[in-house]
Amino acid sequence: MNRHITLTAAVGFMLIHVCLWAPSSSPHPEWQGSDFSARDSLIFREKQKIVSGEQTMAAKTLAVAKSFLGTPYVTGTLDGNATEQVVVNLRQLDCWTLVECSLALAQTGGDGSPEDYVSHLRQLRYWGGAVKGYGSRMHYFTGWLMQAEKYGYLRDLTHETNGIPYNKKVGYISARPDRYPKVRDPETFRAVKGGEKHINAHKWYYIPQSRIKSIEARIQEGDIILLTSAKRDLDISHQGFAVRQDGRIHLLHASSLSKKVIISKQPLSDYVLSQKGQSGIMIARLND
């Protein structure tokens, strides 16, 4: 009798162990093809409550961005998979994904589904909203800006805000296969070069460091601020959101130096002047 009980208990323990550790089909089939963890799901629901309390797209997006304050800065979170897919990571952010995830969450709204969120991410992150390998993902933020404006999500205000021509040809990634080994694949290389060509055909403007303070009053909270790069073949080196503190515009951003999402201590004009790798800014305003 005791032997029977012991055997039954052992089998029961094994079954529990299998249930806990064996892979199972996703309870959310709409997340297939994306990397959506249980923790991401909880954060997603938390952010939806924040979005529900705001009216305009800029207010929704900025409220989400502010709720990410203190979130760890981690770079390369989109590159960990063997095959390209829509990565969802709300636990760790870099300067680009902070902007992208905040906007996608705002677009999803308070009653949207995880499927809606993944769809918005795809539309923001990939050329034409189609995942077709590493080369289909945007690797230059001006490309992201150009497509988001084409879709009507935002408006590039740089030219009308006393911007001057930004005469730069991007080519940073295709020229550095040692740093970006995936571009060694011929098909991927062609796709990346195609994206660079598309960006280079567009007429760009920027506001030099020395002019930022003079146009500060025209920047609104929630505007996306793109910090232009001093490198010869790179367009944007950093990005974040405009926030107003004590009458001055500051930058809400994921900081590689602070290793988390912060609001800059210095006003935007002073912050950009203190950064050797940054030459000025672009400004984009979200549409409703």
pLDDT digits over 155-195, tens only? 999 999 999 999 999 999 999 999 999 999 999 999 999 99
Looking at this protein, which amino acid is placed at residue 6?
Answer: T
How much is the average pLDDT of 261-286?
Answer: 96
Identify the CA nearest to 238 among candidates 207, 266, 210, 278: 278
- Name the more confident of 25 and 135: 135
Domain boundaries, the chain: 29-286
Architecture per CATH, 29-286: Orthogonal Bundle (1.10)
**Residue 118 to residue 112: CA distance in whole angstroms:** 11
Strands (E), 135-247: 154-156, 164-165, 205-208, 224-229, 236-245
The answer to whether residues 222 and 242 touch, using CB atoms and an 8 Å cutoff, is yes
Beta-bridge mates of residue 73: 93
pLDDT digit string, tens, across residues 62-114: 999 999 999 999 999 999 888 999 999 999 999 999 999 999 999 999 999 99
Question: Looking at residue 30, what is its pLDDT?
Answer: 40
Which residue in 61, 25, 79, 88 sits closest to 241, CA to CA? 61
